[in-house]
Chains A and B, each alone.
Chain A
Amino acid sequence: MSRRPRPLVMVLQYVFLGFMTLFALYPIWFVIIASGRVGSRLYTLNLLGMFIPTEWSFENYQLMLSGTPYPFLTWMRNSLFVAGLTTVACLLIATSAAFAFSRFRFYGREFGLVLLLAIQAFPGVLSLVPVAQLLTAFQLYASHWGLILAYTVGNLVFTTWLMKGYFDTIPVEIEEAAMIDGCGPIQSFLLVGLPMAKPALAVTALLAFMGGWGEYVFASVLIPAPDARRTLMVGMYSLANTQSIPWGYFAAGAVMTIIPVILVYTYFQKYLVGGLTLGGVKG
């Protein structure tokens, strides 16, 4: 496709790109504007204020960071804790399983893989009641550890598939050479397989982390109260569900939640795209 398109086509293409750029950026841009506006309303009644910052103050940010009336930083710490440990657990468990599924040949391997995916098709919302009952029995209900457990298993299948997809692309010969040199299967996994899978590990870690960071339904059911134990998403949702919504505070919180993630995603852009197409599973 080396021919140069006609001028009209070029113009249309740029128009479409411009439109999509606006579409993609406007909601984020809007929260940033709104976060700098004092008062409990997200909107001013002048149209201009919807598109350019007509006033700016850090008051909303100060209030959100001060901890009263909304324990924003506590929510954030809870979310970091839950998502962080979920990531670690997921990587440990899923990577070893993925390695086994990719490298070892055993009875029921293919069947097991398919079964994992098919079982995962059971909608999470509908398994909440039994999961909550099980966690209650083990006294993990309303605790972050129970949530971490639920998240880890919830992410397990997807991360296993992603990692397996990556291990499949690494030539086996290297490990075979290591095994001829006397490595056992566990050594060849730790010393050869893992170091080569670093890019995939990074992507998997990022996606598992974001899975825990952004999840709402499980967090809202498994950690009902008190306010200080909530995760960020549940806290922010509760903020927007009060009688008169404190939009300014909400927007400031949203900016502090979203912008770091956008920066990380932009940084990892190449790996993310590559990792997803490799694993062939949606994130």
Chain B
Amino acid sequence: MVSWSGRRKVLTILAFIGPTILGILALNIYPIIYNVYISFTNRNQYHPNPDCSIFLTSIIEPGCWPMFRSDAGLGTPYVLQDPLLENYDSLIGKLFTGDGVLAMLRLVLVIVPLIVAGQVNKRLERQLDRQVPSYLVWLGGIALTVLLVWVLDAGGAMKTLQDGSAFFIVIFRTLLFVAITVPINYIFGLILALILNGEHIKGRTFFRSVMIIPWAASTMFIIMSLIWQFFFREQGTINQIIRAFGGEGTAWLANGNYAMAAIILVNLWFSFPFCFNIILGSLQSIPVDQYEAADVDGATYWQQLVNITLPLLRPSVLPAIVLSAIGAGGFQMFGTVWAMTAGGPSQGAGVPGATELVMVYAYKQVFQFNAYAKAGAFAVIIFAFLFIATLYSLRVTRITKGAYE
């Protein structure tokens, strides 16, 4: 590009990205700093107000800034916690006692055989004539895992951890939710895309247009979730169908496991069109001659799928998968759960409800229990996790390249 430098360059660039920086500073960075600070205090329903005579508080609280200064409301002001990490301790402290660490170690050990199996398979893949088929390796890994679950008493370890902290329950449940819902969404998307990419299907345009509809509706997830919630009610569609066949339905959303399954199903409805479109898009960019060559070599459909299609889909689909997993359709799922179950059904006082995922838990802590400080500590831990996950996803996607590289 034509060279232009010095002050003019700085000013021009600032003019272009200045507003963005300002907005991000005020409404993204400031909340992060605020949450970090508040997580060290005891701000809750009993101590809701800032004490402007404390230096840090007077900087961080807009209500303390000279131009906005207003009389503080009733109630005692919040102060820094005495052991400074009190909130963090109450959230994850119990995980780091002797019992907790031991239990976590046992859980980690249980999945080691699966990781080893994956690595062994990768190694074997590079050999020209592999003697051991991959399913045997996987079977071995799974068998070993099952054995370890039994030997190490993984169930007991889980129980130790869950009794210890609501934090663990919520995180573990959310990770489990992501591990189930994201693959389901993408598998349905993949099957659909594979079918609709074939030339023998009639009405392909029609089907593609149909699949757009849930995508459009998913932008108004609150309304659609409320409608879906209706299907699962005691007098809802599903129970009526069951009754028509002589069965007896249940109140689906009053049962923890069913409620979770319902949310996964609704999330599938919201998400599969996106997955389908992403996969179809990259399927169409695979050159046909690859398949023609494979046909000449006599490869079956499944061999072509495993050895051509899936590997070529990987670079464009993997980023989407990672982003789904850490985004609003995965780890940060909120709206659908909120509209369908609001985190319930309840599992007893003080214990998170059966569908209380990370964001629902945080929302409840803030807006139902006014536990600002505790929620702040929670936010900081979650953010650390999401920050790393995002950086990892960037490594996978390599989308930071500019026009010149």
Contact A17 B201 (CB under 8 A): yes
Distance from B18 Cβ to chain A, minimum over Cβ atoms (Å): 9
**A186 to B12, alpha carbons, bound, how many Å?**
8
| Closest chain A residue, CB of each to CB of B268 | A23
Contact B241 A47 (CB under 8 A): yes
Interface contact tally, CB-CB below 8 A: 320
A94 proximal to B (CB < 8 A): yes
List A residues 134-192 near B (Cβ within 8 Å): 134, 136-138, 149-150, 152-154, 156-157, 160-161, 165, 167-168, 170, 172, 175-176, 179-180, 184-186, 189
**A126 to B32, alpha carbons, bound, how many Å?**
9
Contact A149 B210 (CB under 8 A): no
A118 proximal to B (CB < 8 A): yes
Consensus secondary structure, chain A interface: helix
Binds A, one of B102-110, B144-152, B255-263, B270-278: B270-278
B230 proximal to A (CB < 8 A): yes
Provided the pairs A17-B207, A130-B31, A262-B217 are in contact, do residues A179 and B2 lie with their beta carbons within 8 angstroms? yes
A16 proximal to B (CB < 8 A): yes
Query: Which of the residues A1, A152, A213 comes within 8 Å of B23, measured between beta carbons?
Result: A152
Provided the pairs A131-B31, A153-B26 are in contact, do residues A168 and B401 lie with their beta carbons within 8 angstroms? yes
B220 proximal to A (CB < 8 A): yes
Cβ contacts under 8 Å, A160 to chain B: 20
Distance from A267 Cβ to chain B, minimum over Cβ atoms (Å): 10
Contact B192 A276 (CB under 8 A): no
Consensus secondary structure, chain B interface: helix
Cβ contacts under 8 Å, B282 to chain A: 277
Contact B227 A180 (CB under 8 A): no
| Closest chain B residue, CB of each to CB of A171 | B403
Contact A113 B222 (CB under 8 A): no
Binds B, one of A53-61, A62-70, A103-111: A103-111
| Closest chain B residue, CB of each to CB of A255 | B223
List A residues 4-55 near B (Cβ within 8 Å): 4-5, 10, 13-14, 16-17, 20-21, 23-25, 27-28, 30-31, 42-43, 45, 47, 50
List A residues 266-283 near B (Cβ within 8 Å): 266, 269, 272-274, 276-277, 280-283
Provided the pairs A23-B269, A186-B12, A237-B226 are in contact, do residues A168 and B291 lie with their beta carbons within 8 angstroms? no
Provided the pairs A16-B195, A114-B391, A172-B404 are in contact, do residues A27 and B224 lie with their beta carbons within 8 angstroms? yes
Query: Which of the residues A13, A97, A110, A179 comes within 8 Å of B402, measured between beta carbons?
Result: A110
Distance from B245 Cβ to chain A, minimum over Cβ atoms (Å): 10
Cβ contacts under 8 Å, B390 to chain A: 117-118, 120-121
Interface size for B (C-beta < 8 A) is 118
Provided the pairs A121-B326, A123-B379, A150-B27 are in contact, do residues A214 and B220 lie with their beta carbons within 8 angstroms? yes
21 contacts between A and B (CB under 8 A): A1-B198, A5-B200, A17-B201, A27-B224, A45-B235, A97-B16, A103-B1, A104-B1, A119-B24, A122-B35, A153-B24, A167-B403, A186-B12, A217-B363, A221-B367, A258-B220, A265-B215, A266-B216, A273-B277, A280-B319, A282-B320
> Which A residues are within 8 Å of any B CB, using their own CB?
1-5, 10, 13-14, 16-17, 20-21, 23-25, 27-28, 30-31, 42-43, 45, 47, 50, 92-94, 96-97, 99-106, 109-110, 112-114, 116-123, 125-131, 133-134, 136-138, 149-150, 152-154, 156-157, 160-161, 165, 167-168, 170, 172, 175-176, 179-180, 184-186, 189, 210-211, 213-214, 216-217, 221, 233, 236-237, 240, 247, 250-251, 254, 257-258, 261-262, 264-266, 269, 272-274, 276-277, 280-283
> Which B residues are within 8 Å of any A CB, using their own CB?
1-2, 4, 9, 12-13, 15-17, 19-20, 23-24, 26-32, 34-35, 61-63, 65, 68, 188, 191-192, 195-201, 207-217, 219-224, 226-228, 230-231, 235-237, 240-241, 243-244, 269, 272-274, 277-278, 280-282, 291-292, 295, 301, 304, 316, 319-320, 323-324, 326-327, 332, 334-335, 338-339, 358-359, 362-363, 366-367, 372, 375-376, 378-379, 382-383, 386-387, 389-391, 394, 397, 399-404
Task: Give the 5 A-B CB pairs with smallest separation, nearest first.
Answer: A127-B31, A137-B62, A265-B216, A100-B16, A126-B379
